[in-house]
Copies of this chain bind each other. A is one copy, B any other.
Amino acid sequence: MRGAVIHAPGDVRFEELDDPKIIHPTDAIIRTAVTCVCGTDLWPYRGAEPVDQPHPMGHEYVGIVEEVGSEVTSVKPGQFVIGSFATSDNTCANCRAGYQSNCVRREFMSTCQADHVRIPNAQGTLVATDEHPAEQFWPSLLALSDVMGTGWWAAKAAEVKPGSTAVVVGDGAVGLCGVIAAKELGAERIIVMSRHESRQKLALEFGATDIVTERGEEGIARVKDLTGGVGADSVLECVGTPEAMQQSLRSTRPGGNVGFVGVPHDVAIDGQELFFSHVGLRGGPAPVRGYLPDLIQRVFEGRINPGKVFDLTLPLEQVAEGYKAMDERRAIKTLLKP
């Protein structure tokens, strides 16, 4: 098979690789329908995370089951499936508590920018659609495997409720999906911090009511202005930098909540500031698996269309250009077709 391999920051290559095989009886092999490049893939691409040795990339996927291990009974060859970037058995104590992305058997997917993929914990991880969906649905279904599931989790962790005010920090694909989630969960006012016109436009289309272009103390002051002087009920932190975390915590009202889904890089939270803020804070890798049945339904009903975050579609073999376009902010998110 063929797939993407990162060799060094800025150096992603499309290469011939060994075909994936069933290793454990809980594995499945899928043929990739579509896959994509994630904002988190840019951390190593930009050198913000080390690349010690060449390794495959990608953790987002939808596809057709080709083969299952002997213990997998929930899906069968020929079915169209969607799964999370974090695999789970969906039976352990953490899974039962709704934190499938903290499953005791969790493995993070990392080889999905390829035409075939091995899925560990397939029984608990994969969700099959009733029928093969029309190709028009593929981008939105693909978005569920990470960015839309993560945006949903950000809104849930930030406890967005009907009638509430939500702020979204970060206008990448996850932040934009956070807007969709806040809207679906009933937020009345959705403020997006964004400086990019194309992203502002999509945010407004997804349900944002206000765009704030200021950052830092000015951005915080602007959010306070828009929220009766006290701050927002819910803030979705979708970046992962110290600046974004500070922006988020200081834009939240006392008693409000920050849901943080940007993987933190060099973020330390001052205990005393958090204490006196009365802000609640919860984050982590999104428990996508738990949301999939509901979100798949919303996609098929046309209630949500997160696939719109893909503003560049390329053949899988041009994966390197897909990274480059996102790195240079020419694209929000790149869809790859094997």
Contact = CB atoms under 8 A, between A and B. Distances in A.
Interface stretch (A37-45, A263-271, A306-314, A330-338): A263-271
Interface in A185-215: none
A6 interface: no
A99 B231 CA distance: 13
A282 to B, nearest CB: 4
15 contacts: A93-B253, A94-B230, A97-B255, A98-B255, A99-B278, A102-B255, A102-B276, A263-B272, A264-B271, A264-B272, A268-B270, A274-B281, A278-B282, A278-B283, A280-B280
B269 A276 contact: no
Given A269-B268, A271-B245, A271-B264, A278 B229 contact: no
A275 B276 CA distance: 21
A254 B104 CA distance: 11
Interface in A237-288: 242, 245, 253-255, 260, 263-272, 274-285
A142 to B, nearest CB: 24
Contacts of A270: 267-268
Interface of A: 93-94, 97-99, 101-102, 157, 228-230, 242, 245, 253-255, 260, 263-272, 274-285
Contacts of A253: 93-94, 97
B275 A264 contact: yes
Contacts of A97: 253-255
A285 B276 contact: yes
Give the most central of A101, A260, A269: most B CB within 10 Å. A269
Given A93-B230, A255-B99, A275 B271 contact: no
Contacts of A266: 271
Nearest to A281: B281
Contacts of A265: 272
